[in-house]
């Protein structure tokens, strides 16, 4: 019955609710005596008010079938249209510049989405990709989709070929699912940005394969990948226009309070899904314990959090068939807005990368890139895993009942200054 109701035309559902509300009010008035004309008018008013209230809540939104990751049965969820007038992004195609040119546009602390694929590095400042939402790219001969959702704080990259299909080209969204943008392709299919699953059109049910990306600062990315290309902010805002939204208490454009209270709605997590084994690591928890060794999907992994750049990233601990264990090599200082100076005005210290060391060979690795820069394994690189950032209110909807490291009240104490 629930599936039948959810799949009904939204206008028919609204009409049914209106009639029910009207009939209920008339029954209530009839108990007190004969019905009058004013009673009927009041019934119409009540019916209209109930429909209006439920419509604002999204009760009559179109429902689409979505198969949440690691859930056995699909659910029918609201496919909600963006409220208000649609804001258009920059009309011109994005321009890419080199690192030296990007220094003229970006500050050291400006946040970017970074990707390293097929030996090529690219950075997408949140100021640029936040208004564009999507960038359809080619890394070598491989078509990729890089996207950023400010509403759910999710950076994603996908191989642009769903299965053996032709490459898809995605565009800016007009609808959302769980506040995640539903990105339409050039035909009639729509992909949910948070999990890469198509929920409408002939490709419905297909899920795009993820490629690892991270969110970090421009200074951290440039030092790790000095030859990177950068999406220019030219033609758009110079700063991330969503910074106020990140800091306030609103859980999405369509307010979505988390049903899972282990974290606050706007707490950021790094989530992993390895061979169906899912776990989330909260940024607040990782600030206290920035190096976590774990096993997921029978894969030995390490999750690192570089405090100075607020960068969380996950790697496989297997290198050349050997499983490594890690410890902090250099200081990993807590992030501060300013550093004290004799003038009292303050100035942030220059960025210094956090380095970790494996206990098996004593080799030294960059936390942000997983590159070995010193020791027996110099030149090797840890395999970056497809860690998925996101606000907890979104993650806990797409991945309900996820095992969580760093829940409220469970933040582990720092045993040493890593």
Structural domain containing residue 183: 96-231
The pLDDT of residue 341 is 33
Segment among 155-164, 260-269, 280-289, 365-374 with least mean pLDDT: 155-164
The two tokens of residue 215 are 């969110």
More confident of the two residues 282 and 17: 282
Q: Are residues 264 and 365 in the same domain?
A: yes
The pLDDT of residue 159 is 95
Cα separation, 223 vs 306, whole angstroms: 14
Cα separation, 401 vs 235, whole angstroms: 42
Q: Are residues 225 and 264 in the same domain?
A: no
Average pLDDT over residues 149-167: 91
The pLDDT of residue 415 is 40
pLDDT confidence band for 418 (50 / 70 / 90): low
Domain contains 78: no
Domain contains 245: no
The pLDDT of residue 342 is 36
Cα separation, 364 vs 352, whole angstroms: 15
Domains held by the chain: number: 3
| DSSP H stretches of helix in 62-189 | 99-102, 126-132
CATH number for position 132: 2.102.10
Domain contains 91: no
Domain contains 243: no
Cα separation, 264 vs 388, whole angstroms: 18
Domain contains 250: no
Domain contains 414: no
Cα separation, 255 vs 151, whole angstroms: 11
Q: Are residues 129 and 39 in the same domain?
A: no
Q: Are residues 219 and 317 in the same domain?
A: no
- Where are the strands (E) in 185-274, listed by range? 190-192, 197-200, 210-211, 214-217, 229-231, 268-274
What is the Rg, in whole angstroms, of the alpha carbon atoms belonging to the chain?
A: 25
CB 161 within 8 A of CB 35: no
Q: Are residues 270 and 362 in the same domain?
A: yes
Q: Are residues 56 and 183 in the same domain?
A: no
Domain contains 282: yes
92-117 burial by CB neighbour count: b if 16+ within 10 A, else e? eebebbebeebeebbeebbbbbbbbb
pLDDT confidence band for 416 (50 / 70 / 90): very low
pLDDT at 414 over 80: no
Q: Are residues 318 and 221 in the same domain?
A: no
Average pLDDT over residues 299-321: 96
Average pLDDT, the chain: 87
Q: Are residues 225 and 262 in the same domain?
A: no
Q: Are residues 116 and 164 in the same domain?
A: yes
Contacts of 106 (CB under 8 A, 6+ apart): 112, 125, 218, 230, 233
- Give the residue from 197, 231, 265 where a domain finishes: 231
180-215 burial by CB neighbour count: b if 16+ within 10 A, else e? bbbbbbeeebbbbbbbbbbbbeebbebbbebbbbbb
Q: pLDDT digits over 43-76, tens only? A: 888 878 787 777 766 666 677 889 888 788 888 8
Q: pLDDT digits over 339-392, tens only? A: 333 334 445 568 899 999 999 999 999 999 999 999 999 999 999 999 999 999
The pLDDT of residue 222 is 97
pTM: 0.84
Q: Are residues 189 and 129 in the same domain?
A: yes
Q: Are residues 193 and 316 in the same domain?
A: no
Q: Are residues 160 and 36 in the same domain?
A: no
pLDDT at 162 over 90: no
Share of the chain above pLDDT 90, in %: 61
Domain contains 88: no
């Amino acid at each position: 019955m629930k599936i039948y109701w959810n799949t009904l035309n939204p206008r028919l559902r609204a009409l049914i609710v209106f009639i029910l509300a009207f009939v209920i009010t008339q029954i209530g008035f009839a108990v007190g005596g004969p019905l009058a004309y004013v009673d009927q008018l009041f019934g119409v008013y009540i019916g209209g008010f109930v429909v209006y209230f439920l419509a604002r809540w999204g009760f009559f939104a179109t429902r689409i079938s979505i198969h949440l990751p690691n859930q056995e049965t699909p659910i029918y969820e609201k496919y909600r249209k963006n409220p208000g007038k649609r804001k258009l992004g920059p009309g011109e195609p994005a321009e890419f510049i080199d690192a030296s040119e990007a220094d003229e546009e970006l500050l050291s602390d400006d946040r970017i989405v970074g990707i390293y694929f097929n030996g090529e590095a690219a950075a997408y400042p949140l100021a640029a990709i936040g208004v564009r939402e999507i960038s359809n790219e080619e890394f070598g001969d491989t078509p990729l989709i890089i996207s950023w959702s400010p509403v759910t704080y999710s950076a994603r990259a996908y191989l642009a070929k769903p299965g053996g299909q032709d490459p898809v080209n995605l565009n800016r969204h007009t609808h959302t699912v769980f506040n995640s943008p539903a990105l339409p392709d050039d035909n009639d299919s729509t992909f949910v940005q948070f999990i890469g699953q198509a929920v409408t059109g002939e490709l419905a049910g297909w899920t795009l394969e993820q490629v690892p990306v991270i969110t970090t600062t421009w200074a951290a990315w440039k030092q790790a990948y000095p030859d990177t290309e950068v999406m220019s902010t030219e033609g758009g805002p110079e700063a991330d226009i969503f910074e106020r939204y990140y800091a306030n208490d609103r859980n999405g454009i369509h307010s979505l309070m988390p049903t899972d209270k282990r974290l606050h709605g706007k707490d950021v997590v790094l989530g992993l899904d390895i061979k169906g084994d899912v776990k989330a690591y909260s940024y607040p928890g990782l600030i206290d314990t920035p190096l976590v060794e774990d096993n997921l999907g029978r894969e030995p992994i390490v999750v690192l959090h570089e405090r100075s750049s607020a960068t969380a990233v996950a790697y496989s601990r297997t290198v050349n068939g050997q499983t490594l264990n890690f410890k902090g090599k250099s200081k990993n200082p807590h992030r501060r807005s300013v550093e004290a100076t004799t003038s009292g005005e303050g100035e942030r210290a220059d960025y210094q990368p956090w380095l970790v060391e494996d206990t098996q060979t004593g080799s030294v690795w960059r936390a942000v890139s997983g590159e070995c820069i010193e020791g027996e394994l110099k030149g090797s690189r840890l395999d970056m895993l497809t860690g998925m950032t996101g606000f907890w209110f979104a993650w806990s909807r797409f991945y309900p009942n996820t095992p969580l490291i760093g829940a409220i009240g469970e933040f582990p104490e720092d045993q040493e200054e890593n």
